[in-house]
Amino acid sequence: MQTIDAKTWKFGKDIDTDLIIAARYLNTSDPKELAKHVMEDADPDFVKKMSVGDIIVADENFGCGSSREHAPIALKAAGVAAVIAPTFARIFYRNAFNMGLPIFELKEANEIKEGDEVSIDMNNGTITNKTTSKTYKFIPIPEFMQKLINAGGLMNFAEEEIKSGEQK
């Protein structure tokens, strides 16, 4: 993944994992089923309004609450291409990368409005708001975490590592 170009959806601060995917849906781990209900309690029509490849922009502490892996799985399965926020709950941060969901820490995230078109350039470490023509530098993602995203998550990365080890 080099760049992500997409429309944004805006959410506030302290979006916890129960708002990302409500506990009543945790009786399944099927990503397609979880995707139908992503962000439902924050915006009941979110899944109907968003398009695959769109980006969520939130305020601080995105993904707080319980440490369920269902949250990043649901976002990714719904087609959310990335999440931008000033800060993420630490467990959500790691779970997102483990599931292959790109997340970007940007202290100026609140300057991005819902519906803005943005371009995220991982190689240059920039987010450009094409609507306002403003460019921001985000906190760099460690190289290993980039490898997890490029592989589609930790499990895919591990499988690739095993295969490459067998070929040596």
Q: What is the mean pLDDT of the chain?
A: 93
163 token code pair: 């295969």
Domain holding 144: CATH number?
3.20.19.10
Could you read off the pLDDT of 137-161 as tens digits, one per residue? 998 788 888 889 999 999 999 998 8
Residue 153: CB atoms within 10 A of its CB come to 21
Q: Which helix (H) or strand (E) holds 163?
A: helix 154-167
Question: What confidence score (pLDDT) does residue 1 get?
Answer: 56
| Strand, helix or coil for residue 152 | coil
Could you read off the pLDDT of 126-137 as tens digits, one per residue? 999 999 999 999
Chain centre distance of CA 115: 17
User: How many domains are contained in the chain?
Assistant: 1
End-to-end CA gap in the chain: 26
**107-112 mean pLDDT:** 97
Give yes or no for a contact between 63 and 20, defined as CB atoms under 8 angstroms apart: yes
For 152, phi and psi rounded to 5 degrees? 90, 15
Question: What are the DSSP E strand ranges found in 42-125?
Answer: 55-57, 82-85, 103-105, 117-121
Tell me which residue range forms the domain holding 23. Answer: 3-167
Question: What confidence score (pLDDT) does residue 144 get?
Answer: 87
